[in-house]
Amino acid sequence: MSVEDSTELIIALLDDNPATIVIDALDECQESRRYELIKALNDIVNKSANLVKVFVSSRDDIDIVLELADAPNIFISASDNRKDIEDFVHHEVNYAIKHRRLLRGQVSDELKSRITSTLIDGAHGM
C-alpha cells in the first residue's frame, strides 16, 4: 500500500472520529522518506473532517527542523532531563544489586559508582 493510499484511508477513518497521531523518533526514519511522511501528516490534518493532533519527537536534524519550522515546537535539550536520568539509573542499579540481578549483588561502592556514571554519561539525554 502506498503512502497516498494509506493517507486516504486514514482520512476516511477520521470522518467520524477525532484523532491524535504520535510519531516517535522521526529522525530514525530514512532521510529520503521523511518529507513524504511529513507531507502525508499535513494532508491528513488539512483534509480531515475532524480534529487531528500530531505529535512528533525527533532530534534536530536540519531537514526535519526546516519542514516543521511553521509548526508549534517544544525543544528539550539533554541537560533538561539529566536529573530524571540520574534518578532512574540510580534506582535501577540499586534495584538490580538488591535483587542480585547485577553480579549476584556483589558490587563494591566503587564499581557501583562507575556503572552509574557510565550509564548516565552514555545516555546522552535519552
pLDDT bin (cut points 50, 70, 90) of residue 32 is confident
Give the global pTM: 0.67
Residue ranges of alpha helices (H) inside the chain are 3-13, 31-47, 62-67, 82-98, 109-123
Q: Which amino acid is at 65?
A: V
The pLDDT score that the predictor gives to residue 77 is 78
The DSSP bridge partners found for residue 53 are 20
Q: 26, 6 in Cβ contact below 8 A? A: no
In whole angstroms, what is the distance from residue 73 CA to residue 20 CA? Answer: 16
Instruction: Pick 79 or 53 by higher pLDDT.
Output: 53
Per-domain boundaries in the chain: 3-67, 78-123
User: Which one is predicted more confidently, 126 or 25?
Assistant: 25
| Interval 44-69: pLDDT, tens | 999 999 999 999 999 889 999 999 99
| Share above pLDDT 70 across residues of the chain, in percent, rounded to a whole number | 100
